[in-house]
Homo-oligomer: A and B are copies of this chain.
Amino acid sequence: MGGLNTRGAAPKQDRSRATRQRLLESAVTCLAEHGWTGSTVTVVAEHAGVSRGAAQHHFPTREDLFTAAVEYVAEERSKALRSPVGGDGEPAGTRSAVEMLVALYTGPLFRAALQLWVAASNEPQLEPRVTALEARIGRETHRMAVEVLGADESVPGVRETVQGLLDMARGLGLANLLTDDSARRERVVAQWELIVRDALAR
């Protein structure tokens, strides 16, 4: 009976989706912790508690797994950020907006993405996929930044002000790679919140 088949298929699909999700999250964790060289499909499958065969069923190649993983986590992050801001449609204050944008570049997703970007710069089979992924994540991050800042991009210079702020956030993320840079970062962010507020008000 159709009804029984559907009930039978649904838990299987759920399990498959849960396995896929565990693999994606483990891939980001491994990439952030061990870098590209240390993050093989076997390492990720073990971390996710999944067989290597099951991992390869979901992601035929290592490149498939890691580009999907960074994209998945970026989308989750983007959904999470959209909910409090998009809820009432109001932009956050400049202060919390700048803090929120900088926070995007100091967590495990940025560490993982950084490992993937740098590996792609030396691996021809990874490079085109990561370049396309970087462009997609970049566009989405810019869209979010405009929204949380309440920036009006029809005003000349505003688009570049927002872009430069995101470049700064990326640079702050890189400065946090080897040492805990949070004390310095806090002072820089406090000063640049004032500067960005003035620049956007002109």
Contacts and interface: CB of A to CB of B under 8 A. Distances in A.
Interface of A: 33-35, 37-38, 111, 114-115, 117-122, 127, 130-131, 134, 157, 160-161, 163-164, 166-175, 177-179, 184, 187-188, 190-192, 194-195, 198-199
Chain A contact residues, majority secondary structure: helix
A187 B167 CA distance: 13
A117 B171 contact: no
A164 B188 contact: yes
A41 to B, nearest CB: 17
Chain B CB within 10 Å, residue with most, of A33, A166, A174:
A174
Tell which of A167, A169, A199 has the most Cβ of chain B within 10 Å. Answer: A167
Contacts of A163: 184, 187-188
A68 to B, nearest CB: 18
A191 B161 contact: yes
Given A37-B37, A160-B187, A167-B171, A134 B195 contact: no
A119 B160 contact: no
Contacts of A120: 178
Contact of A175 (B37, B170, B192, B198): B170
Given A160-B187, A195-B195, A174 B170 contact: yes
19 contacts: A33-B122, A111-B121, A115-B121, A117-B174, A118-B118, A118-B177, A121-B177, A130-B178, A131-B178, A134-B178, A160-B192, A161-B192, A161-B195, A167-B175, A169-B171, A170-B174, A170-B175, A171-B171, A195-B199
